[in-house]
Amino acid sequence: MTTRWMQRVSRGTGWCAVALIAAGGVAWAQSAVEEAEVASIVKAVAAEADATVKAFNAGDAPGLAAMFIPDGELVDENGTVTESRADIEALFRRFFERFPGATIEMEITDARAVGDEMAIEEGVRRVTVEQNGAAAQVRYVAVRTKEGDRWPIASYREFADDPLPTAAEMLAPLEWLVGDWLDESPEGSTKIAYRWSDDGNFLLGEYNLSVGGRAATKSLQRIGWDPVEGRLRSWTFDADGGFSEGEWMAGDDGWLVKSEATLPDGTTGSATVTIRLTDPDHFVVESTDRVIGGVEEPDFKLVIARKPPEPAK
């Protein structure tokens, strides 16, 4: 837990060295007293935060509400305001009924005194739900006021602070692609293989087309997360020099890919591709709205099957 605080120290001035020394001595003594007082406040704030963690992890709604003054307020990351100790207790009761066993971790990143009767605490809190291990993290600012030996909360506000999702997390819905697949038709046979990149940030695909048992062409694909556009994106490179780029969007019935391609001779094209997993061993690819060099091309549909493992030798 990291805690820091700031304070101002007034220093006297005088017309002679004796006066300067005396003023400096008084200021030093005053500084030491004030620093001790601030340290005491910070320690008290840390104790209040520790008590909050214990009450939360015990599912103690009344105990959590008691951390607030009677007319205190709680404002969550969505801006919803809950006022009064009674309503705050009811809020926590509903939460624990919905998420029994939830736990909290709190880190104070800043605590400072504002006069003798008020303190401001800033930090990060992380709540973990027992049922599925899901966690949510927010930043918070708590304004505390002194009541006897305690420093209850007058106002508590949360601000969204969830860590950004990783590329691997955003690609997880496509993990079913990993493995070996096969598309066989009268026109030829295409072997498809997908695997994770070593860093886990991309799905790598390899397409090998053969006609009459002889290799015809090869394509390499890389699927990744585009944090600027907030969607998945793919890049495909063909052995003949052509390439394409696709924007992936999740739909109710699979994935919709808007693809734009450039052929080796500079001709451009576009298509809408729908990819739908029908069962663990089959997925369907449908290509519509196909235009190459300004000419409309017919739609097509493929059923891709998972390639069975090679027989043991």
Specify the pLDDT at position 25: 41
Specify the pLDDT at position 27: 40
Specify the pLDDT at position 165: 77
> Is-above-0.75 flag for pTM?
no
State the Cα–Cα distance between residues 61 and 99, nearest whole angstrom. Answer: 13
Specify the pLDDT at position 34: 60
What are the b/e assignments for 92-113, b being 16+ CB within 10 Å? beebbeebeebbeebebeebbb
All residues at 6 or more sequence positions from 72 whose CB lies less than 8 Å from its CB, including other chains: 83, 84, 85, 88, 152, 153, 154, 155, 156
> Quick one: 179 and 124 in the same domain?
no
Residue 312 lies in a domain: no
> Quick one: 99 and 192 in the same domain?
no
4: part of which helix (H) or strand (E)? none
Residue 3 lies in a domain: no
Specify the pLDDT at position 129: 86
- What is the residue type of 7? Q
The total number of structural domains in the chain stands at 2
Residue 25 lies in domain: 17-160
State the Cα–Cα distance between residues 274 and 250, nearest whole angstrom. Answer: 10
Specify the pLDDT at position 30: 41
State the Cα–Cα distance between residues 108 and 151, nearest whole angstrom. Answer: 15
**Token pair for 1:** 């837990």
> Quick one: 217 and 98 in the same domain?
no
In this structure, how many other beta carbons lie within 10 angstroms of the beta carbon of residue 174? 18
Specify the pLDDT at position 162: 66
> Quick one: 176 and 154 in the same domain?
no
Q: What are the CA-CA distances from residue 263 to residues 16, 247, 301 (Å)?
A: 88, 18, 21
> Quick one: 27 and 151 in the same domain?
yes
Tell me which of 127, 160, 193 is where a domain ends: 160
> Quick one: 21 and 143 in the same domain?
yes
> Quick one: 184 and 138 in the same domain?
no
Instruction: CATH number of the domain at 57, please.
Output: 3.10.450.50
Tell me which of 160, 180, 196 is where a domain ends: 160
> Quick one: 242 and 219 in the same domain?
yes
Q: Which residues of the chain have pLDDT under 70?
A: 1-37, 131-132, 162-164, 310-313
Instruction: CATH number of the domain at 201, please.
Output: 2.40.128.20
**DSSP sequence for 68-113:** EEEEEEEE-TT--EEESHHHHHHHHHHHHHHSTT-EEEEEEEEEEE
Residue 1 lies in a domain: no
